[in-house]
Amino acid sequence: MAKQDWEKWFKVLLIVLAAAALVIALGAVAVVYFAVKDAAAAADAMARLKVVLSYEILILTFFYGLMVLLYMASGKIDLSMLLSEPKGNDAQGKPLYGASMSRYQLLIFTFVIALSLLLIIIANGAKKFPAIPSEILVLLGISASTYAVGKGIQSSGDGGSGTTTTTVAPHPAGGSSITTVAQHPAGGSTTTTVAPHSTGGTSTTTSTVTPPPGTGG
Amino acid sequence: MDLLTTLATIEIGILVGGFFGIVVYKLYSGEISMAGLLYTKEPGGRAALSPVRLQLLIFTLTVAAHYLGKVIANPRQDSLPSLPVSVVAALAGSQAVYLGGKVVSAYIQPLLKIQR
């Protein structure tokens, strides 16, 4: 099946599911409204409403989660940079990216704790939510803090990764022109050219500033 | 309510397992890049193996594997298994060393480069 067909089919499915969820919710309200005749019936209706709403929330949560999963699997939610962080620029001034240990360790600990919790819930027959010891909360706190602090250092520091290139070339009007390209650590560059004037005598200076990517110019 | 509990357990299993499966598959297939995980950029722009990152990777994987093994060995518990405070402290130290290395490469090395 072509990708466009798949996306079209998926959108229709989502609309159908949303409509079905709305119909179920309205149906539940209608059942409760028409079932209430006296105080005993009202208490019974409330109990039924709780059950219906519990199923409703379960279904909604499942389909929201499923949508995110399907978008992740199809690539619409791009995960390619999940572990990446900027690591300076290349010779052309394009930002370089590499895998980040702080992101990686946060991913590992999140999955390990989530899977452990799930395993314990299943093993105990889902009778109650397991208690979480303070050491585990501290572990997750340390892991997340490392990620946050690492991100702060990355964005505020990295002052030394910029590069400057100077080129001296013969100019058609005689003499030489000097071009300096300064690559900024955050991306983008400043190009300065000093060249002799075409009529001789005074030199001209031209500066071109390219903003870092993602700054909107 | 038993049916609801069972369905909720299955749902969480599918969603958490699905997220885990997709991330692991994308890591395996290379869609999520792990290039440069253990490398740091030196002042000259050259990439070099970073012992600081390596030690954090070893600590992380060891603690994670130990913890998961503990859960798999005895999943019938009322709470998540606890970790010894010394292990948490060791991990915190490892992460502090990693952050210290990051501070050096982001702030100290550029200053030294300018002074030279």
**Cα torsion B23, B27, B30, B36: sign:** positive
Set of chain B residues whose Cβ sits within 8 Å of the Cβ of A60? none
d(C-alpha B45, C-alpha B23), whole Å: 31
- Distance, CA of A66 to chain centre: 18
Set of chain B residues whose Cβ sits within 8 Å of the Cβ of A146? 95, 98-99
SS3 A208: strand
Asked if A105 is an interface residue toward chain B (Cβ–Cβ < 8 A), one would say yes
Q: Among A194-208, B37-51, B85-99, which stretch is predicted with the lowest mean pLDDT?
A: A194-208
pLDDT higher than threshold 80 for residue A69: yes
Choose from A164-178, A179-193, B88-102 the range with maximum mean pLDDT. B88-102
Cβ–Cβ gap A131/B79 under 8 Å: yes
Nearest to B35 among A99, A104, A121 (CB): A99
Which tops the pLDDT comparison, B113 or B67?
Answer: B67
Cβ–Cβ gap B37/A112 under 8 Å: no
Q: Among A8-12, A13-17, A88-92, which stretch is predicted with the lowest mean pLDDT?
A: A88-92
Choose from A27-31, A148-152, A213-217 the range with maximum mean pLDDT. A148-152
Q: Among A7-16, A156-165, B94-103, which stretch is predicted with the lowest mean pLDDT?
A: A156-165
Give pLDDT tens digits for A96-125. Answer: 888 999 999 999 999 999 999 999 998 888
d(C-alpha A67, C-alpha A188), whole Å: 37
Please give the pLDDT value at position A214: 45
**ipTM of the complex in this document:** 0.90
d(C-alpha B62, C-alpha A204), whole Å: 62
pLDDT higher than threshold 60 for residue A45: yes
DSSP A212: P
pLDDT higher than threshold 70 for residue A18: yes
Set of chain B residues whose Cβ sits within 8 Å of the Cβ of A113? 80
